[in-house]
Amino acid sequence: MAERSFAKEVEKLRLADGETFEGEGILAVTKGLLQAGVAYVGGYQGSPISHLMDVFADADPLLRELGVHFEANASEAAAAAMLAASVNYPLRGAVAWKSVVGTNVASDALSNIASGGVTGGALIIVGEDYGEGSSIMQERTHAFAMKSQMWLLDPRPNLPSIVAMVEKGFELSEVSNTPVMLELRVRACHVTGSFVAKDNVRPAMTVGEAAANPKRDTNRIVLPPANFAHEHEKIERRWPAAVNFVRDSHLNEWFGPERDEIGIIVQGGLFNTLNRALELSGLSDGYGSAQLPIYCLNVTYPLVPEEVTTFCRGKKAVLIVEEGQPEFIEHELNTMLRRAGIDTCIVGKDILPRAGEYTGQVLCDGVATFLDKWSPERAPDRSMPAPTDTELAKEVPPRPAGFCTGCPERPIFSAMKLVQRELGELHVSADIGCHLFSILPPFHIGNTTMGYGLGTAGASAFKPAGRRAVAMMGDGGFWHNGLTSGIGNAVFNKDDTVTIIVDNGYSAATGGQDILSSRADNPRRKTKNPIERAVRGMGVNWVRSINRTYDVTAMRDTLKEALTSREAGPKVIVASSECMLNLQRREKPLRARAEKEGRRVVRDRFGIDPETCTGDHACIRLSGCPSLSVRQNPDPLRQDPVTHIDQSCVGCGNCGEVSHAAVLCPSFYRTRIVSNPGAFERLLDSLRRRIIGWFQMQHERAIAARAF
């Protein structure tokens, strides 16, 4: 079950011609695909594209009605390989993933499909996870487009433009027999807006029909001599076809006056930010009526030489606003102008920052610098930005991401911290996923992270005689590639590494999608394939499964055993407990209903006695649970804040177990609240309360007697 349900929103995908669609960017993309008569969709989840996968999944009934095949692929490589369906058949297909990491994973298949080319339109929707919203290395998808000769669309971030590019993208792909990438920045995926819908179109041919009538063309297979022919084909036929289509369909746009001494060329995705910068400089307005020429590249690869030279000719200088590095477009613009003998000065990374997101402030500054040099009469007065208040900056603490309240991964790292106290610091090869939050406070665990599912592979160089390395792997990463690249590799090379596979039942970090080992029933997929069986099947003999990670003592002891066991070969601990976010989402409504219906319901939460808490906060350093917080000490004698547990506690028990395992303090207690108890339970309780109450009264009197 995914974190966010689009069950209601996907109804909007049924809108007919002329109706107005209102909603988020990713839904608009899906509507665009259906309007374009897509025959199959797929992909792999990951921010900011996870929600697109969730939309596909929730829209599955509609997709079936239309004869569209949907597949949640095992990895980006699998998704890219699925585009093979468009090689021989006129099938339009779209796949989606997070770039640049997903594109890295997919690049083998991508190179193959780009080489052989496609018959049906192939669209790759990449969420460019760049800047503030990013959790990955900062690189550009643009490089992939150039090296494989795929076309890259970067539409203006508004719904009509995005939808138009989805539709035109298929046409471009078909006319040039080349796969097309549609790049959406993180905010564009989630931007709200509206556009006028068209009817959905059933694919002219379904994947079923194609499979029933197989076609074969060895010229499309990457094998000598065809592969050499592909290269020529790319350059001599597909490239010109694409340039012609981009030009003739007016995919790029022009704003502002026709004539000027200067101008700006901008990537489509940055157009809105640029316009705001111009507006704040008094050179545009809220409707994009710029007072200097702007050439907006909704297609950033390939460039159209005629358009570029026409725009630049007669201008003293043109600013290119291109995010990220290297400045591929700037390089190409310079080459084009040299070849055409035009001496317009291309201004780009010499005044704009090489690194970092192009935010409103960055572009305001960049435009001002550009105008200062090339059109000083139009340059805005630049007021000095207010100096940062360093005193204030000291008071505002950073908020690193951390495990959710009740997260089953937290006790794994609490246990690891305890083991480190006994055995000394460990080399921990971390992976991608929620468990990567271990590198942040309060755990500070994890030395490297090399990629999704690559935790174990990342430890493979460490074969020390004394201490074993520890590798982390999530269940998502395990099925993505960790089973082969990590476990298989460790078995084959006789590694001694200890691998902890965190099995929380979902691809949790990307929003709780089901995977092979999910415990959930999923009518469309085969779930419940245990990780332990796969690991044993791969040849690992030392496997321990822990079915309740909250048992910190068991976690600690098992990890210690794995690190000290005399047995040779890889050791694998499968640590399973369901993702608490998903668990709560599923169980909370059920519990509320049961309670209402008068059935017995038990709810746990934890508390701390402020009188026995001495304010050392060792428990927080071993847990970091959001519900485990501090407050002013109610004791007038004590000065340090006292620990306390707020109402958000879900009663997972981690804090109590940690307190036990680490022998911390006697302050933790569990309150169990029983709703609709049975008659006998009620009687027993009242009996106990009466007896204890009487003794407590005596005790209270004794205390009062000696009181101040």
Partner 1 sequence: MTRATERDRITLAIMALGGQGGGVLANWILDVANANGYVAQGTSVPGVAQRTGATIYYIEMMKSLATSGNQSDPVLAMMPAPGDVDIVVASELMEAGRAILRGFVTEDRTTLIGSTHRIYAISEKSAPGNGISASERIIDAAKQRAARFIGFDMEQAASDAGSVISSVMLGALAGSKALPFPRDAFAEAIRRSGKAIEANLSGFEAGISLARDPQVSSRTHTAPLRPTSTAGRSLAEAIETMLPESARPIALEGVARLMDYQDRQYAELYLDLLDRIYQCDDGSEDWRLTQVTARHLALWMAYEDTIRVADLKVRASRSRRIAEESRAGNDQLVRVTDYLHPRIEEVCDILPRALGSAILNGKVLRSVLNRFFSGGRHVETTRLRWYFALRFIASLRRWRRGTLRYTTEMDRIEAWLDLAADIASEDSALAIEVINAQRLLKGYSDTFERGFARFEAIQQLARGLRGKPDAASRLRTLNEAALADEEGKAFDYALAEECNDAAA
- Are the C-beta atoms of residues 142 and 299 closer than 8 Å to each other? no
Q: Give, rounded to a whole angstrom, the gap between the first and last alpha carbons of the chain.
A: 59
Looking at the Cβ atoms of 420 and 527, the one nearer to partner 1 is 420
* Nearest distance in Å: CB 346, partner 1: 25
CA 345 – CA 1 distance, rounded (Å): 54
- The nearest distance, CB 358 to partner 1, in angstroms, is 10
Which C-beta is closer to partner 1: that of 179 or that of 476?
476
List of residues 6+ apart from 554 with CB closer than 8 A: 546, 548
Question: How far apart are CB 103 and partner 1 at their closest, in Å?
Answer: 18
Of 566 and 701, which CB lies nearer to partner 1 in the complex structure?
A: 701
DSSP state of 513: B
Please name every residue paired with 301 in a beta bridge, in sequence order, or none if there are none.
Answer: 152
Minimum distance between the CB of residue 171 and partner 1, rounded to whole angstroms?
24
Beta bridge partners of 122: 93
Report how far residue 145's alpha carbon sits from residue 544's, in angstroms, rounded to the nearest whole number: 45
Note whether 154 and 299 are within 8 A (CB): yes
CA distances, 275 to each of 83, 132, 156 (Å): 37, 20, 11
Q: Report the alpha-carbon distance of residue 291 to residue 274 in Å, rounded.
A: 13
The residue assigned the tokens 């570029």 is 308
* 325 to 93, 126, 451, 660: CA distances (angstroms): 30, 18, 21, 51
Phi, psi of 72 (to 5 degrees): -85, 100
Q: Closest distance between partner 1 and the C-beta of residue 385, in Å?
A: 7
Closest CB 605 distance from partner 1, rounded Å: 7
**By C-beta, is 96 or 538 nearer to partner 1?**
96
Nearer to partner 1, 322 or 657 (CB): 657
Which CB atom, from 47 or from 149, has the smaller least distance to partner 1?
Answer: 47
Q: What is the three-state SS of 623-681?
A: CCCCCEEEECCCCCCCCCCEEEECCCCCCCCHHHHHHHHCCCCCCEEEEEEEECCCHHH
Find all residues with CB under 8 Å of 103, minimum gap 6, and list them. Answer: 76, 97, 110, 126, 141, 144
Q: How far is the CB of 251 from partner 1 (least distance, A)?
A: 17
Return d(Cα 532, Cα 549) in angstroms, integer. 15
How long is the chain? Answer: 708
Torsion-angle region of residue 3: left (phi > 0), alpha (psi -120 to 50) or beta?
A: alpha
- At its nearest, how many Å lie between partner 1 and the CB of residue 569? 31
Mark residue 298 as left, alpha or beta (left: phi above 0; alpha: psi -120 to 50; beta: remaining): alpha
Q: Count CA atoms within 13 Å of residue 11 on its CB side.
A: 4
Residue 564 or 671 with smaller CB distance to partner 1:
671
Q: Where would I find the beta strands (DSSP E) of 30-105?
A: 40-43, 69-72, 93-99
CB of 624 to partner 1, least distance (A): 6
Q: Contact at 8 Å (CB) between 645 and 605?
A: yes
Angle between helical axes of 360-374 and 271-280 (0-180°, round to 10)? 60
Alpha helices in 66-201 (DSSP H): 76-82, 85-88, 101-116, 142-148, 159-176, 186-190
Cβ proximity to partner 1: between 538 and 628 the closer is 628
For residue 50, the minimal CB distance to partner 1 (Å) is 8
Residue closest to 291 by CA, chosen among 327, 267, 261: 261
CA 26, CA 31: separation in Å to the nearest integer? 9
Q: Give the shortest CB-509-to-partner 1 separation in angstroms.
A: 8
In the complex with partner 1, which residue's Cβ is closer, 346 or 655? 655
In the bound complex, what is the minimum distance in angstroms from residue 667's beta carbon to partner 1? 8
Q: Name the minimum Å distance from CB 114 to partner 1.
A: 29
C-alpha torsion 172→178→179→180, nearest 10: -40
Bridge partner list, 603: 673
Comparison of 215 and 682: residue with beta carbon closer to partner 1: 682
Comparing C-alpha atoms, which of 402, 401, 399, 405 is closest to residue 654?
405
Q: How far is the CB of 666 from partner 1 (least distance, A)?
A: 5
CB nearer to partner 1: pick between 109 and 502: 502
Cβ at position 603, least distance to partner 1 in Å:
9
Nearest to 505 by CA among 486, 544, 483, 531: 531
- Which lies closer to partner 1 via its Cβ, residue 103 or residue 275? 275
Q: Closest separation between CB of residue 241 and partner 1, Å?
A: 31
| CB 505, CB 475: distance < 8 Å | yes
Shorter beta-carbon distance to partner 1: residue 303 or 580: 580
| Nearest to partner 1 of 111, 614 (CB atom) | 614
Of 573, 542, 567, residue with least CA distance to 470: 573
DSSP letter (8 states) at residue 218? G
User: Hey, is 94 helix, strand or coil?
Assistant: strand
CB of residue 239 to partner 1, shortest distance in Å: 32
Largest Cα span, the chain = 102
DSSP state for residue 135 in the 8-state scheme:
-
Whole-number minimum distance, CB 459 to partner 1, in Å? 24
Residue whose CB is less far from partner 1, 216 or 706: 706
Q: Which is nearer to partner 1, 52 or 540 (CB)?
A: 52
Residue (492 or 669) nearer to partner 1, CB: 669
Nearer to partner 1 among residue 386 and residue 465 (C-beta)? 386
